[in-house]
Chain A
Amino acid sequence: MRRTLLYSGLTVAFVLIVLVSAGAGQLSISPLEVFGAIMHRIGLDLGPVPASATAETALWTVRFPRIVMAALIGAALSAAGLLMQAIFGNPLAEPGVVGVSSGAALGASATIVFGWTFLGGWTIAVTAFIAGLIATLLVYVMSRANGKTEVVTLVLTGIAVNAFAGAGLAFLTFLGTAASREQIVFWQLGSLNGSRWDQVLIILPLVVAGIIAAVIVSRRLDLLSLGERSARHLGVNVEVLRVFVIVVVALLVGASVAFAGVIAFVGLVIPHLMRMILGPAHGPLLFASLMGGAVLLLTADLVARTAVPNADLPIGMLTSLVGGPFFFWMLRRTRKRSGGWA
């Protein structure tokens, strides 16, 4: 019952935000016209078409690719957060907080500064993935003890990894030309400005693969909540599962960071809210988190584009604005519950 309500609520919210977001901007298009434009494109004679050809072009070349990117990246970051929390056994694990995102941004920035193009359009996604993978492994190895990660260790490891990645980014900023500096700043702030269909085509298969992988392991992640040994006694190959999940996290975060920069806290806020509503079973939680992440990032992007006239605010700034206090609240709650900095 609860689940059905939440799923329908999220679906409705998703459809609404897509229609509103696509219509909002300097050239205003009504949600109904947006709906009509989509319907006519898929061959259904439903709803009004946009009044002008300019509006039609704006929708299909600028706004829709950006919306698809926002939805994909929101879902990817949210799923990545959920996966990290499962293998760390800690609800405060999140790609941005522990430094996986800045690691990936470091890889992406190095690609820009050194002008690497060895894999064409995929180069930046691949380097972001590899750097993100290294960062995830590092955090994982450094912060765990006895099958779980204590809050303090996790946060401190995050500080260390973020500091190191920050130094790398600073060095690259120093090395780079004026143009590449601008790009690095873009990666640090996070933005969906200038999203294109060819980027969607790269990110889509990566995110879909990551999500399928997450669905496959979701039951085993439930068992992992019993602790590593108990999970193994129930037939889970914990070592393989861990490595697999770490690669999937790096894939999801790497794909997101490569095209939108560091957008922190989505993976913290959304899985936590969904867990409060649905409980911790990873199957239903994953689906709700994907939807919730998409809706959150679409909303944040709508605000980023429209809050200040003629300006595009960095979306990473917005998510951190909300996520920072939220993280703080969660820390306080965790501390209260465990009676200290467990």
Chain B
Amino acid sequence: MRSRSTHLVIPDPLTPGEVAIEARGITFTVGQRELLSGVDLTVHAGEMLALIGPNGAGKSTLLGALTGDNHLTSGSVTLAGTPLHEWTLKQLARRRGVLLQDNGVFFPFTVEQVVEMGRAPWLGTARDNEDEVAVREAIESTDIHHLRQRQVPSLSGGERARTAFARVIASRTGILLLDEPTAALDLKHQEDVLQLARQRAANGDAVVVVLHDLGLAAAYADSITLLQRGRVAAAGTPAEVLTSERITAVYEHPVEVFPHPVTGALIVQPVRR
């Protein structure tokens, strides 16, 4: 019974530097509108890649293409060396975790129950003995311990976002795809969440994160892909991508980029005069 054996297979961990996700020439059309045009993207294990761009540039659409939610018009996405369409849903769930912007829950599940759902892909495999530790760690590291028994629909937007993030973290997948994980969060929790994602990358995981805050992208990403009207406007390290000139042009608003006087880290700020 082949299905039985593949059913419980645990994916090998990614080797550092291995190509985790590779997108080649992806184009995605809805009706007459081309939302993505010939986008290339490569993410390695151990790397954190930020997708940035103005509203409607196609960041979430691109993330949806990488998760397999959006069926491509042309081009290809390869995950850990295997084309996306050859993956079974079960295996995919053990390979990559996805955090969406919409993190509502239809019924009054508790925070703890929702985080436990992140362990569903491992049910019945040898790794389900990690369940308890993984859930506990995810809850501690996202600062929702005090909310464990609260019902998710009654939480604030930020608390709900952290709960959803904890669920994705608890899956302990080698690849993380995060759509605006910091959108609803206060300053401290924004830093916490990105530090956690950063930590996962340092441990050899591959992380793709959609971000609006360019300062956060500059501080946390290893590499940045800047999208503009469905095309890649620039890709490279934060220092390469985030130049005043380019950001000003793409966002159609004057922006200054300068190094922090003490640390030298890049600061991105709209010109307000």
User: A-side interface residues toward B, CB under 8 Å?
Assistant: 89-91, 148, 219, 222-227, 229-230, 232-237, 275, 279-281
Contacts and interface: CB of A to CB of B under 8 A. Distances in A.
B111 to A, nearest CB: 12
Interface in B46-88: 67, 69
B236 interface: no
A93 to B, nearest CB: 11
Interface string B95-134: 0111010111111111001100110110100000000000
Contacts of B234: none
Contact of B113 (A224, A230, A235, A279): A279
B104 A235 contact: no
Interface of B: 67, 69, 89-90, 92-94, 96-98, 100, 102-110, 113-114, 117-118, 120-121, 123, 167, 171
8 contacts: A89-B106, A224-B106, A225-B106, A225-B107, A229-B100, A229-B102, A230-B100, A275-B108
Contact of A234 (B105, B108, B110, B121): B121
A235 B106 contact: no
Interface centre among B98, B107, B167, by most chain A C-beta atoms within 10 angstroms, is: B107
Contacts of A226: 105, 114, 117, 167
A235 B105 contact: no
Contacts of B171: 234
Contacts of B96: 233
Contact of A279 (B94, B97, B108): B108
Q: For chain A, what secondary structure do more than half of its interface residues adopt (helix, strand, loop), or is it mixed?
A: loop
B121 A235 contact: yes
A219 B120 contact: yes
A230 B152 CA distance: 15
Nearest to B114: A226
B69 A222 contact: no
- Going nearest first, the 10 A-B pairs with the smallest beta carbon separation are A235-B93, A280-B107, A89-B106, A233-B98, A235-B90, A225-B106, A235-B121, A234-B120, A235-B89, A225-B107
Nearest to B97: A233
Contacts of B93: 233-235
Contacts of B120: 219, 223, 234-236
A90 B92 CA distance: 28
